[in-house]
Structure 1
């Protein structure tokens, strides 16, 4: 095999809670995460020269060691002393700096792709162990589906497939620094916490209304106070039929859950026309038959 193309989905947080901090300064997290049907496409091609080249179809992304995809390739090239190199071409659909793990997804795609391309024979847990050295979301991006993530995100418990629903994703035209959001939360921790037990029960029962009712993210207040448009988007989504809406990760992307496609499309149009968000997508949540 000389070439492989991998599609990797973005993620949303159905819940995000901070339980404390570890001795090394990292936060002790408890999150329910789900993949969504918005993908980056990564094509890897073997080359004779022992180097890594990265191209991305978005001009504002680095293509050197600052890019997680580049670092994922470098990690495997060094560990396995690979004789050749690799060309990596990334087609982005997952919004950048959006709380949707776009960089981590690309790293996961490169790890998966190089494992196949160079016949490294690594199983999923072995890929996840290496992925964790690149970023806390990489192990989940390698797993996909729906999972409870604990620790810094490395302890993953797969959950039941989510019921089918539509999401409207809206990313305002600014980026939020994850370290900044956590630092602000540390100064004034949130008293109201996500109902994890209720979320897990809703997922187990396949009840999309209970899942929507139990959405929660302790970082939403931090980002929303600094950027009130986050709350404005949430209210607009609910006004146009969302069961509920939430900011994912440290933001600023907001998602609303819809049971009807026409409602989701209408909300998409309204939010796009309002100019509250530069990127707006309608995507799928849960298990769908191929081709639906």
Structure 2
């Protein structure tokens, strides 16, 4: 048994407790979007998702998580800035209007907020569903249990995307290069389907940043970002009960658990390993990055 990742419950379709959970997720994540991963869980394993969100939510509400988010972003960008002169774009430089630039900026700000959260979720679920210990080195610091602070964020917007089959022909070579680089056999990640709404922007970004993404510095940034997510999973003061034995206690079958293990492995160890750090890079060059310091 495997999970059908093409089957989703979209926000517009969610009702009752499902709509409430989506609203809670967006509020907790400080981002007006429900990621494809969560929509897939809702469609395929709603009982698991409802239970898992109750286990996961407290992890996002501490000051330590804010520190994790800020450090994640700075980890990626500091490594790249030490090795590359990263561009900073204006509307005229990428061939879009000021209004289009603002929209792209807002959507990238949202995706930049999501990136460290998704990295944490994928790391935690893969660890838990593999039967490995979460919170193996719980932090004793004040921040570990203190509330999440107010962060000075860029103004975010809901993320809109072009269906893969509707991506303009003018982007064919760029899309082929993107898929080959990240290792996608089909489809295109959210970040690129969003940017494809402005073909000249995506073309310019890819032309300028392809060499950065292929560099040893970006490889190091990816390793460091995932190591940072792993360290935060290890430091959790509250331990979500998401091991296979815990899931069997809520009446999930062995087939259900195996399907969830496969999904978690796919999202933790697949192309997303390079996609999430790339989101941080794309947001930075458009001036849409969230905070990189200021949390003590």
Q: TM-score range by the shorter chain?
A: under 0.3
The answer to which structure has the higher strand fraction is 1
Q: Greater RCO between the two (CA within 8 Å, min separation 6)?
A: 2
